[in-house]
Every structure is written in structure tokens, then in C-alpha cells.
Chains A and B, each alone.
Chain A
Amino acid sequence: MTASTLAPAEARQHSPRRHKRAWGFHLVMAPVSLLWIAPMVFVVFVAFRSFDDITSNGLGSLPHSFAFDGFVTVFSDGLAGGALLNSVIVTVFTVVFSLLLASWAAFALSRYEIPFRRGILLLMLAGNLLPPQILLIPVARITESLGISDTLFALIVVQVAFGLGFYTFVLHGFMRSIPAEIFEAARVDGAGEIRVYLRLVIPLTRPSLAALAALATTWIWNDLIWALTVLRTETKFPITAELLNIQGGFVSQWNVVAAGAIVAAIPTAVVFFIFQKQFVSGLTLGSSK
């Protein structure tokens, strides 16, 4: 889709009116974008200022110093025990298993006349809607009685279970939009369920799986409440829980807190920019052919 969509006539010639509109567009969007990134720039500034600069010149002033103190403190005191690695492990496994199980459920519910399938879908989505706080104590007791409390495995299992409803709901929507004819054709060729799933459903939903994977990665990476519920050994904490310790420990040292927040945010930002394309294209599956 190009600019011709909305203004077919104008697209063919470089009229002065079009130039004026481009100017107007940038005149509005540039300040809006700047406004959007301003808070982040501010936090980056704070992270690279020294504590003395912040206390003597105030938080809101422009930097009078350039220091790595905040980051040094974060890496020396804050991130003991491989918090970043823990986050990577939990995020990768949770995302993979969430999408695997959700694609199974979505496939079953979208393509087969399972009794009450709409009800089941609704029920699964409802599970995702529960305020997580309400599940904390029972979940803590359950993981414990299964003998898996305080393990990354438990954290993965719990997060997979909690996210499933939403992923299934979204994938179900996409899978329903795959034209039935494609399945008919496969069946004519004698393909069984597993083959249809592996050879048809997965490839066709790949863009939306990628999009969900990008979303889920940010969600799982940013989770805090489940980590705190299931884990209690500091060496197993993911970065978010460690960040909480940093916040608790360096309350008025804003440069340290800002540096910690940046360290926690960078990995998701990287994943996000790599997946940016999938993000946008994946979600179109629902509304295009």
C-alpha cells in the first residue's frame, strides 16, 4: 500500500500541495515523537550523571557531569547471580512453550467441532483476565506441593499457564481466518491432523506467531509478580526482581536506579527492533487474505 491509497490523483504528480502536506506532517509528528522519547532521554541523562551532580543541581537540570557510577554500582552490587541469564532462560522457554501449547489449542478450537468450543475459548481467555494477585498465594502453595517451588522451571510453567488464554484467543482468530479451502485441499491429498498442523497451520500462522513471540517476550521479560511469588533465592531472580532490590536499596540514588532500569530495558528493546517487521506484518493476517 502506498500513498496512492488515499489520494490517487495526487500520487501521480509532485504537486506543491503535496509538499506542503509533507511539511505539515513533519511539523506535527516531529514534536510528538520528541515528546514521546523525552522521558527516556531524561532517564538516560540521569543514569549518566553523578550522584553529587544530581543532589547539587537537582534531578531536572541538564547534566553537569558524565559518569558511569550508576552502571558500575548496578553491575557490582545489583546484578549478582546472573540475573540477566535467568531472565533469558525464563523468557525463551516460556515464550516457546506458550506459543506451542496455544497453537495446539487454537488449532483444535478453530478447525474442529469440539462441543462448546466458543465456551472453552472464552473460559481460557477468562483465565488470563484474572487479576494475577489473586492467584499468588494459591500458586505459591501449589508449586510447593509439587516440589518445584523456587525453581526457574516453576516460574516457566506458571507463566505458560497464565498466558495461554490470551495467546490461544489471538491465534484462534488468525486460524479461523485461514480459508477453509486450503484445509480441504490438504485433506484431499490425504494429510492427517499432525501434518496439517505442521505443514499448513504453522507456516500460515508463522507471521502471527512471530508477532506474538515479540509481544510475549516483552511481557515475560518484564514480569515481576510471578517471579516474586515462585522464587525466593536471589541467585535465581530474573532482572526485574533484582531491579526491585536495586530500587529498594538505592532509593534516593536516582542515577543507580535509572541505570538499573536501562539495563533491564535494553534486551527487550533489542528484541523489539529485530522483530519490528514481524510485529506489524504478523497482525495483518486477521484482516487480509
Chain B
Amino acid sequence: MPLESAIEVSNLTKYYGDLCAVDHVNFEVKKGEIFGFLGPNGAGKTTTLRLLTGLTKPTSGSAKVAGHDIMAESIKVRECVGVVPEVSNIYDEMSAWDNLIFASQLYGVPNDQRAERANELLGLFGLYERRMNRVGTFSRGMKRRMTIAAALIHKPSILFLDEPTTGLDVQSSRMIRNLIKELNKSGSTVFLTTHYIEEADQLCQRVAIISQGRIVTVDSPEKLKVSVEKHQIIEVSFSQVEDLERRLTDLNYVNKITQVGDKFRLHVENTSEAIPLLVDFARENELKIMSINTLKPSLEDAFVEITGIAAEAMASEKEQAKKGGNLG
């Protein structure tokens, strides 16, 4: 029996003046799913999230969130969802406790349940000890956790997260990812935007790849990887790195080559035929093979193949935009 839809989007389009930010987008998110929106800066990820959460209105098209039309029933939509923007939007001047109580008041949590719910979330997000401190004194990771906690105060059925781990340290990112998984296990549907391919791969049951306002493909990370498996990959490192890339590119059985640190990833038609030839190449060039592995295509390979956008370029573009104050 098919799962019910948490989000249904039909031909959703958004223009800002002449600029088409979201172009006739169609997709569906099933209940209980972690659904990722993956794409470079300016692809339309955040605009789509803002459209679905009622922060901006579509130029054309329609969408239903938790069974409610985003235009005709925007308040009902907002009652059912929690929204975590890329930049934390909690009040620095207020304590963690006051922030959660205020959020509970805005979302109409009954008076006798507010304190209990706030305590529960502060405990879950590891902030209980700091509950009476001003949020302005918190680290970026703690603020992000606070923002998620505030978005969950009314037990929403769908949680929207915009770039949940951007700008966070490794430990905080891992903690947030684990929390997202836990929330999903407890039944929440999660819609997240990210430009971290690895994050989408780790968290999402399905991803939509979006570029220039259009959805290029929607599928599970594994199916996307399989779709680009026509190339097999050998990862190899030699005792010497200098001038090797050019010489390896010249090999007629290598279709494509990328350097990753001191290793080379060679895209070949057939790994079992290519490996002995590679051993010969090492011997002829008086090189020692330090390590050799065969790799399956990653989601990053699939992304690059599908969009033609280099993953590193996407990440650095995002970081530069953040530094420049453009939050996409």
C-alpha cells in the first residue's frame, strides 16, 4: 500500500521580477520520509522551502502541505510544520527557556503543557543546563539546536530544515544529523535543503537535484548512484605524485581522471582488465603502488554526472556567498 503524501507540489513557479527562481517544480514527499533538496547556491532550494512554508507566495502552480493548500490554508499549514531557517532566528536577548515558552505560546500549545514540552526539548537537545542563559551567549551549534527545538515545540508532523549544518563544526553537524535521524524514526517527515552531497547521502531516503530553478531528477541516493555506474572507478596511489596526472590521462583505457589528495580516481570501462594494465604502467615508470581499490560511484559522482556542476565548486560558491552576506 503506497504511503500517503506529506507534501505534494504541482508546477510550482516563483518569479522575482524577470528572474525565475523556481520553474514549474513537481515532486511529492511521502509521510515519514527524509527528503532532500540538493543543489548549488541560487538553484531555488530556499525559495521552494519558503514557498512551502508560506513565507512567500508562488507566481503560479500549487502545493499541499500536510493536506492543506499553501495559499488557501496557509495558517493551517503553519500549524502543522516546523521551520528551521539557515540563519538561526531565535531571540539572542532572551533565555533558552523564554524562547521555547514564547514559541509554545505562538503555536497555541496548551498552557499546562508548555513547561513540560520545553523541559523535554531542552533535555533532548542537550541544553537543559543552559536553559536560563541568554541565547546570545550560545555557540553557533547550540543556537542551531535551539532553533530546531523551537521549531518542534508544537510537535509538527513535518519539519523543514534549510541547510541545517552549514557553518557548523564537525561535532555539531554530526549531532544535528543524528537528531534529524531520531526525529524521523519517531515519525516526523523531514524536508531539508543542503548543498552537502554527503549529508544528503547519509540522511535522505530520496533526493531531488535542483539546478537553475528546475528539478533535474528525484530518486533515492542509491538509485542515483546506480544510474551512473556505467563507469567503474579505481582509486590508486603511487610512491610519487608529480606529473602523474598527465601520464595517467594518456592511458587509453582511462576515460576520466580526478585527483583526490595523493590518490587518483580513474574512471574505466572494466576494472578487472584495467588493474593488470595499471600494474604494468607502474612497473614501466618505476613507481610503487601504495594502495589500490575499486570504488562504486558516490552520490557526488551521480550529482556531477547529472548536473555537470563540480561538487567542490558548489560548496565553495556557498561558503563565499555566506562570507559575502548573500544567504541565497
Partners in one complex: no
